[in-house]
Each structure stands twice: as C-alpha cells, then as structure tokens.
Structure 1
Amino acid sequence: MGTEKVSKLLFRLSAPSIIGMLVYAFYNVVDTIFIGRALGEESVSGIGGLVIAFPIHMLAMGIAIGLGIGGSSIVSRALGSKELHKAEKALGTVFFLGIFLGFAYSFTGLFFLESLLKIFGATPGIMPYARAYLEIIMAGSAVFTLGIATEDLVRAEGNARYAMFGMIFGAGLNIILDPIFIFWLDMGVRGAAIATVLSQLAATVFLLRYFLSGKSSVVFKPELLVPDMTISKELAVIGIGPFIIEASNSTMMIFVNNALATYGGDVSIAAFGIIHRLLMLIFLPLLGISFGLQPIVGYNYGAKQFSRVAESVKVALMVSTLFSLPGFLLMFFFPEPIIQIFSSDPELTAAGAGAMKIVVLILPFIGFQLVGTTVFQALGKPVPAFVLSLARQILFLLPLVLILPRFYGLDGVWAAFPISDFLACGLAAGMMWREYRKYKNKEKQKN
C-alpha cells in the first residue's frame, strides 16, 4: 500500500469491484432492452413501469446497504482485534436483520403499493406495468436485503474476488433467465421480475455458502441467528448514513418522475429510464474505482505519506475521466441508434435522443464527485463526505427540478441534470483542492 506503484495498486484493488459493477449494470440494461422489445407498441409503458418501480425497490436496497456497511465495519474491526466471537455474533445479527427487515418491507410495501406507485409518479398508462413488476420484486425483498448485506460481509473478510463472483453469477443468471420468462413464457414485465428474484436468490445462496463452507474466518452458527442488541445499535449508528443517502436518492425520484409526467408524459419517463440505465454503465464502474481508492488513501494518510495520497487521487480522477469519455462520446453523438436498441417507438427515439444529449453534457467529469466523497471517507471526515454524497441529488438537483420546469418546461427538467452535475463536481474539486493545499503545507513543514 505504501510502496507499490499507485496506478498498479489502484487497478489491482479496483478491478474486482469494477468487473462486478459492470456486469450488474449490463444486466440492468439488458433487462430493459428485453422489456422494450417484448412489449412492442407498449414498450413506452413497460419501460416506464421499470422507471417507477426502481426507486421504490431502492429503499429496500438502502436497508441492505446500511446493514452491509455497518456489518462489514464491525466484522473487519473485530477480526483485526482478534475478537472472533464478536465477528460471528455480528454475522448472525446481520443475517437475522436482513431477513426480518426484508420481510417487513415486503408486507408494508405490498399493502401500500398502489399509493406508493402514485406518489412516485405512475401515470394511468404506466401503473399496470409498474404494479406487475413491483409485486414480484417486493415479495422477494428479503432475498435482496440478505444477499447484498452478505456480499459486503464477504468483502469485509478480504475476499473481494468471491464477492465479485457472486455479483457476476447473479447478473449472468438473470441475463439467461430474462428471455425465458419474458419471451418463451410470455410473462412480460412480471417475467422480468421473476427472473430478477430467482437470480438474486441464487446469488444469495452462493454468497451464504462462503460462511457455511468452513473456509471463512467467520463461520455462521445457527445459535447466533439472534440479534445482539449492542451490535444492533452499532449497526444502526454506522448504517444509518448510507441508508439516508439511498433513501434520499430514492425520494428524489418522486420529484423527477412527477416533473417528467407533468411536462412530458409517459414517453419522457421511459426516455429517462433508458438514459438512467445507460448512465449506470458509467457510474457503477466509477464507484468500483472509488472502492479501490479508499484503502490506498486511508493507508497512506495514516502513514503520513501525503504526497502519495495526492498522487492516488490524481490517478483516480484521470482514470475516471478517461473511463467516462467513450460513454459520453457515444451517447452525445449517436443517441438515436442507442435509443432504438431499446425500442422501435419513433416518439420515444426522438424524445430520448434529445434528452440524452442534454443529460450527458458533464458526464466526463462526474468522477470528481465520487472520488471526492471517497477521499473524505478515507480521511475519516464524515461531514464533508456526507455533504458531497448528497450534493448532486439533494442540494442541487432537487431545487433545480422544482424551479427550472416552471420557466422552461420539459427542457428545464433535462437541463437540471447537467447543471447539478457541474455544481456537484465543482464543489468536490474545490473541497479536494482545499484539502490538498492543507496537507501540502504540512508536508513542507515536515521537511
């Protein structure tokens, strides 16, 4: 960590996460393509249904991410201090809460499903498809909460490769099952949801095997499948931040979807769904780069090698920009053929192509915000990290989505995205530069 060439080290630590994230993003894109192609003339409503369902499902994912980050923090620290029994108790507590909270979300969500869909912007045309998809996904919430939390626990043991294989296995199986349920069994969006739940179930079993095989440092013991109150409180304290971020992003979609429904209708909602899926192919691998950057920054900061911290951040920013650039060029210069991969609807092609050219304007620099958030997390500065993590969606995008459409209509909704990206990236760059100057002065004083 302290001597290996930074670029080589970043690649080695990031590669498993980047590959896993890319596969996950690719399966989401393929899922949407299958839905769009299967429904033909109804592709706008079908894709729109996925758009409305996604942020509601993300609330369950937020629970899982909070549990996973909290649990992995406790487990890794317990292993470091040779407290194996505490690590095993944390494992059992996370498993119990993953199942319990997943079922609680299922029952609550299904009971209020109609109201939730309306709140998140479902129009009469989109409602049947969103409901058909989300009924299945909601019923399988426990599979998602347990699986995602378990993936983080596997990574906490230092086995990022096994966690990556779990992601690839689940996403790959989903891509195989999608055409079977959507086309061959003619189940449409409901078939896509069934394929997703079954794939996640298989991935969860694959990940659980790690702790049942006896090969892990922390072994699952059935008698510890009882929540420990002390560990539960610690989980809540650590996991509440990531959950709030996911919940905030999900809640933000209420305003985006409703603005799109008001100023553009079902076609605009479907166009946003396609653009969002494509952007995931960029965002999620950048997140993988950030995962690789965090331990490098943390280690070298602890070792007071501030110049090496700065070098690792520069490399991460350069790699993020270079990774984003091809996606930007394709989406900006060839939007029509890209949209037509998802649907042959001419109205959707026209609306999506115009929107895409606006939304992706700042895409090459989006890595600044992700890297900035990671840097402050690694430096042990939760407040600036929290501010940056909410900057794009809440601090900037929310007010812009509420204000701009009043003056510019649908164009105002689309323009809110690059403007918020620009402001968030600028804020991240400014905060990192200020931090860099501070530690550069410390390095001078040390020498």
Structure 2
Amino acid sequence: MSLNMIVDTIFVGRWIGPLAISAITVVLPVTFFIAAIGLAVGIGGSSVLSRALGAGNDKKALQVFGNQVTLTLLASGLLASVGLIFQDTLIEFFGAAESFKELALTYYRIVMYGIVMLAMCMMGNNVIRAEGKPKFAMYAMMLPAIGNIAMDYLLINVLDYGMEGAAWATFISYAICFAFILWFFLFKSELRLKAESFKLKKKIVSEISGLSFVTLARQGVIAVLTILLNNVLINVGDAIDVASYGIISRVLMFALFPVIGVNQGFMPIAGYNFGADKFQRVREAINTSIIYSGILALGIFILIMIFAEPFVSIFISDKAGQDAGSLADSAELLKRTPNALRWVFAATPVIVIQLIGGSYFQAIGKVIPALLLSLTKQGFFLIPLILILPNYYGVFGVWISFPIADVLSTIVTGYYLNRAVKKDLISS
C-alpha cells in the first residue's frame, strides 16, 4: 500500500515536474482522511472482531463485520460527496498556490471518484488480518501497487496524459484492490454475511465507534498536520518546500512500512490473546514486536542517513526534455530535500515504543488511553512545534519539529505502556 501511494509521486516528479509533486501533496489530506474512515472502522472493528473470535462468539463476529461494511460505505460516501461539491474551496484551504492549483484540482477530482473503494479496501484488509489470513491481506495490497505502476507508466509516460494519467492510474489501483477484497469475502472468507448483518446495531456501532475513533482521531490529526505543514511551508518558504515535504512524507511512509506492518500484525494477536485471558502471550507479543520493529527502524535510520540523496533523486528528473523552469525547480528540490529528510528521520529508532504502546491499548479495548497516546506525537507535540519553531528558524524549524516530537511522545508512551503491562498482564 505504501508503494501504491509513493509511485504516483515518483512518476509525476520525473515525468511532469516538481510542481506536480506539490499538487499531489496538497490533495493528500482529504483523500487520506476519507480513506482513514475505512482504516479506522477496520482497525477498531477488528479489535472487537478478534476478541469475539477469541471468545468463540461467531455470531457477534458476523454482526461486527456487517456493521463495519455499512459504516464505511455511509461515512466515506458522504465525505466523498461533500469533497467533490466544495473542491475549489478545499484545494485552496489545503495550501494550493496558484502555480499548481489546476494540477491539484485535476488529480483531486478523479481520485475522489474512487475514494470510497479505497475506504472499503482499508476496512476489509484489517478484517482479513483479524480473521487470521494475513497472506490474503498482503495480496490485497500488492496487486493494486503493481497495477498502479503499470498504469502510471502507460498513462503518463506512453500516452502522455500528465496529471490525468496519474489520477486515473490511482483510481484503477483502487478498483483492483476492491475487486480482490470482494472476491476474498465472497469465496475465501469464513465470515459469511447475511442481510441482517448489515443492519446497524446500537451496541455494536458504539463498540466499533469507540475504538475506531482512536484511529480516526490519529489519522484526522495527521490530515490537519499535513494541511498546516503545506500552509506553513508556503508562508515561510515556497512551492519547492511543499514538494520537499511531499517527497519526505512518501519516503517516511514507504521506509517505515515494515515497522507499521509489525505494529498492525501485533494488534489482532494481542487482542485475541487478551480476549482469551492468555496474558503471558500478550506480553510476548509486546516484547517481540518492540524488538523486531526496533531492529527494522534502526536499519531504516542508517539507510536514510547514508543514502538520503539517492532516495530523493528517485523523485526528480534531470532530463533535458524538461523546460528550463522545471529543470531549475528540480535542481533546487534536490539541493534542499536530503538534509530535511535526515532531520525528519533523526529519531526513527525510538518510535517503535510509541507505535506499539498506543496499539496495545487499542487492541485490548481501552479507548481513552489509546486515543490520548495516539494523539501524543502529532497532536500534543508536533503541531504546536510547527506553529512555534518556524517563526524563529524558518523552514528548518519545520524539519527539526519531527525528531523533537518523536522523542517526547516516546517518553510519554513508554511510561504508560510499562505501567499498564505491570498492572494488566499479571497472570498467564
């Protein structure tokens, strides 16, 4: 999925230009938030579903899944409609400058037509993992990534459709993912839904919503953070700085996907065993997840520190076929971005405690601690830092806000995770 989201940025940067990266970057918050509806309902509902399966309550598991489908369709469909109606206003609010506004609108309109499919994919993928079939969940993410690469090459490079080509390639990738997940639940899943499963039940909706709100709040804060970053970077910098953040956010997303993968794999295991009162296994899951994701995070940190320039250059073309303005923008982008990337990744080795700690509380159904810890980095530390530091340090103040927020949020999460493990997991 990370590859699916990063590939558009690579192709538009190399084949259209740096301003196209800026355009995709300002579109990201709204598409990200609507897709997060499915992710939130998927993660929150799957926590309930995992515990129901662990306790042998198959009837409740079916009801939970049916309600997840209904909630995702209703919420994402409504937000997508509103997003299309107010597209001009939203694009400006997200930080689009006149130099790339039309490029952003072109991409935004087409992608929004398929965003409900993406929301359903994000929800369904989490249910597949909760059902204990992670290979199918992996296939559901790999197939659209491959499709997106092929369609990007065809529509942008071969047929020269520009931003429209990038947008339609993304749309088609959503459709591929949705088709695969639909096939899985029709023919491979053990969760055989009936018509009554889709009817919303107040108790089930309340249980799903409570835990979903944790993920939705976290993803919503990330969307707000992206909007804030786009606007701050335009105010203290320029469109090239927005493109820099676009590249950094994609590298961040792609580089950390192994760590996030361990985290997502940890949640259903912790939830299932907690529901079955196997507390020693929950402890083992926490320790194993922190150790392995920590090793991965350290490796990622070393790679970024050494190879920042090559990573950034993937997104930038120096071909003579570009006009003089695009070539100058590309050169400036390559000059500014590598050091910014290093600063953003400076505290990567410690973030695993923050991720696993927040997910533990969500997995065992403790909504308030999960919500507060999930908002610690972006909401309590990063957003205030970005509002303050650029006033003194300009664009550099934006980049150094990331490692400071990582360290502070890790200290807070580590404290509460250690206390909770000693209190909750005292028997086996």
The residue that corresponds to 2:9 in the other structure is 32
Q: Conserved in 1, the CA contact under 8 Å of 2:373 and 2:413?
A: yes
Correspondence 1:228 to 2:213:
no
Deviation per residue, 1:251-282 (Å, 9 max, x gap): 12121111111111111111111111111123
The residue that corresponds to 2:346 in the other structure is 361
Task: Select the residue among 269, 277, 294 that pairs with 1:321.
Answer: 294
Q: Conserved in 1, the CA contact under 8 Å of 2:54 and 2:275?
A: no
SS of 1:399's partner is helix
The answer to which of 115-124 and 329-338 deviates more is: 329-338
Query: Are the structure 2 counterparts of residues 304 and 206 from structure 1 closer, same or farther at C-alpha, using a change threshold of 3 Å?
Result: closer
2:385 partner letter: L
The residue that corresponds to 2:74 in the other structure is 100
Q: Conserved in 2, the CA contact under 8 Å of 1:405 and 1:413?
A: yes
TM-align CA RMSD: 2.7
Deviation per residue, 1:143-176 (Å, 9 max, x gap): 1122222222323322222122111112221122
Alpha-carbon distance in structure 1 between the residues aligned to 2:285 and 2:86 = 47
Alpha-carbon distance in structure 2 between the residues aligned to 1:334 and 1:87 = 46
Q: Conserved in 2, the CA contact under 8 Å of 1:301 and 1:309?
A: no
Query: Are the structure 2 counterparts of residues 123 and 180 from structure 1 closer, same or farther at C-alpha, using a change threshold of 3 Å?
Result: same
The residue that corresponds to 2:178 in the other structure is 204
Correspondence 1:370 to 2:355:
yes
Matches within 5 A, 1:47-446: 47-73=21-47, 75-76=49-50, 87-213=61-187, 215-221=188-194, 223-224=195-196, 227-230=199-202, 231-298=204-271, 299=273, 303=277, 310=283, 312-343=285-316, 344=318, 345-435=330-420
1:229 Cα deviation (Å)? Answer: 4.2
Query: Are the structure 2 counterparts of residues 116 and 302 from structure 1 closer, same or farther at C-alpha, using a change threshold of 3 Å?
Result: same
1:351 Cα deviation (Å)? Answer: 1.0
1:311 Cα deviation (Å)? Answer: 5.0
Query: Are the structure 2 counterparts of residues 275 and 201 from structure 1 closer, same or farther at C-alpha, using a change threshold of 3 Å?
Result: same
1:401 Cα deviation (Å)? Answer: 0.3
User: How many residues are aligned here?
Assistant: 414
Alpha-carbon distance in structure 2 between the residues aligned to 1:303 and 1:412 = 47
SS of 2:375's partner is helix
Alpha-carbon distance in structure 1 between the residues aligned to 2:424 and 2:356 = 17
Deviation per residue, 1:54-73 (Å, 9 max, x gap): 11111111211232234434
SS of 1:239's partner is helix
Aligned residues with identical type, % of pairs: 33
Alpha-carbon distance in structure 1 between the residues aligned to 2:220 and 2:185 = 29
1:79 Cα deviation (Å)? Answer: 5.0
What runs of 5+ residues in structure 1 fail to find an aligned partner? 1-23
SS of 2:346's partner is coil
Q: Conserved in 1, the CA contact under 8 Å of 2:130 and 2:268?
A: no
SS of 1:228's partner is coil
Alpha-carbon distance in structure 2 between the residues aligned to 1:68 and 1:285 = 19
Alpha-carbon distance in structure 1 between the residues aligned to 2:287 and 2:130 = 26
